[in-house]
Amino acid sequence: MGIVNVTPDSFSDGGKFASTDTAIQHGLQLIAEGADILDIGGESTRPSSVVVSPDEEQRRILPVIEGLRNAGALISVDTRNASTMTAALKAGAGMINDISALTHDKESINVLRDSDCRICLMHMQGTPQTMQVNPHYNDVVAEVYRFLEERIQACVEAEIAKDRLMIDVGIGFGKTLDHNLALLKNMSKFHDLGVDILLGVSRKRFIEQICGRDIAAEDRLAGSLAALAHACRDHLQIVRVHDVAATRQFIDVIQKTCV
């Protein structure tokens, strides 16, 4: 899954692909590099980010969806707003990636029940504005697992087929370094939920925390690939990345050389 941020303030590439034309060209490049899915976002969800209205979110992403929907990759939209989900699906998206696991907007489940798209349910403690203010868990693996289990059940009870669902433990979303490491070391446990698993570690701050020094987001590729070794070891189905070509090469080689 290649990331297309149509935002001025995302943590890694904010503003770089904020225009429709540059976002479309970036998406085409990611497909050429080997992306099977493009995740298009119109609202930054980095810590302390500014909330964007659904209207502005749609203004940013809908032309990009329309420009990429026939390019050969599944189009995912990173949104927590039901009205944006509706508009995105109509424009050609085939997947919704919701950082709130369909809890932010009570209409989200109804919108998605009436579609056939894939749905990613992510765990986040708090909101993007509050999530990194002293996050606390008694047992982060058990609590994240239980939350995702409950959200899967809520979807099934709403008549959303389980095989449409996938989960994301939300690395960096309301977690300390120790929380992130505990989750990465225990990813295989989440297979028991019975749905596909998406892992998003690309360029995230925990990489520089591990290394003990400041590292610019765009210089965290090596750390990102090291973290993705967990995805290969634990047979996760989807990885969400900025650097598609390098990640594709890494996965191709590690799958052939590791038992």
Residues annotated catalytic, as ranges: 204, 240
What is the Cα–Cα distance from 95 to 98, expressed in whole angstroms? 10
Q: b/e per residue, 199-213, with b = 16+ CB within 10 A? A: bbbbbbbbbbbeeee
- Would you give the distance in Å from CA 242 to the centre of its chain? 11
Could you write out the DSSP letters of every residue in 221-233? HHHHHHHHHHHHH
Long-range contacts of 10-13 (CB under 8 A, 24+ apart): 10/41, 10/44, 10/46, 11/44, 11/46, 11/47, 11/203, 11/205, 11/217, 12/202, 12/203, 12/217, 12/218, 12/242, 13/217, 13/218, 13/242
Tokens encoding 118: 């894939």
Phi-psi region of 134 (alpha: psi -120 to 50; beta: other; left: phi over 0): left
Q: What is the maximal distance between C-alpha atoms in the chain? A: 48
Contact 37, 4 (CB under 8 A): no
